[in-house]
């Protein structure tokens, strides 16, 4: 293996370990309290601007929080609870985009931009490292030698 590829292989290994660690750590808890908190953070307050149901203290948000807890106690799955609020308020109630239609664009565009940016940086670094180094000419050597002699005579 070439020495230049060793750092890239090490970077790939570190990234792979980080992704695995994040996936393992991000497994959501299935306790009713954790489910309610997760759903409350995914739903937008219907009367506030830019706040989730979990953050808002409006009457509507408090009612939704209570209703989410009630629905969880009744055994409804998370998707069914979200779908009930989408049916009542429309897609604007969701703070996270859906996995279909324009939601794919909303999720995919940042990832696409990061990948393109990473390729751009890698291309630029590769290009910079392959730029030939300029060699000193005979005139350059004469100038450097002359300045070194001058520095030796000027030094105390």
- Alpha carbon distance 133, 139 (integer Å): 17
Q: Where are the alpha helices (DSSP H) in the chain?
A: 6-25, 32-42, 59-73, 78-89, 102-129, 138-154
Q: Kindly report the length of the chain.
A: 156
Collect all residues with Cβ–Cβ distance below 8 Å to 53 and sequence separation of at least 6. 40, 41, 43, 44, 45, 61, 64, 65, 68
- What are the contacts of 132-141 at 24+ separation with CB within 8 A? none
**Model confidence pLDDT, tens digit, residues 109-121:** 888 899 999 999 9
Range picked from 2-11, 21-30, 111-120 for highest mean pLDDT: 111-120
**Model confidence pLDDT, tens digit, residues 52-72:** 999 999 999 999 999 999 999
- Alpha carbon distance 83, 62 (integer Å): 19
pTM given for the model: 0.49
Q: What is the pLDDT of residue 1?
A: 52
Where residue 91 falls among pLDDT bands split at 50, 70, 90? confident
The overall average pLDDT reported for the chain is 84
Complete domains list, the chain, with CATH: 3-96 (1.10.8.640), 115-154 (no CATH)
């Amino acid at each position: 293996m070439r020495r230049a590829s060793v750092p890239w292989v090490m970077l790939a290994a570190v990234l792979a370990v980080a992704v695995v660690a994040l996936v393992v750590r991000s497994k959501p808890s299935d306790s009713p309290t954790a489910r309610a908190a997760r759903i409350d953070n995914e739903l937008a307050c219907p009367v506030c601007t830019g706040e989730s149901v979990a953050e808002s203290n409006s009457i509507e948000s408090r009612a939704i929080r209570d209703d989410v807890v009630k629905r969880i106690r009744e055994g409804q799955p998370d998707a069914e609870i979200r779908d009930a609020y989408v049916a009542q308020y429309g897609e604007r109630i969701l703070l996270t985009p859906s996995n279909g239609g324009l939601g794919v664009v909303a999720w995919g565009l940042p990832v696409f931009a990061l990948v393109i940016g990473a390729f751009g940086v890698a291309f630029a670094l590769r290009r910079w490292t392959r730029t030939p180094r300029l060699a000193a000419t005979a005139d350059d050597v004469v100038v450097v030698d002359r300045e070194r002699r001058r520095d030796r005579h000027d030094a105390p």
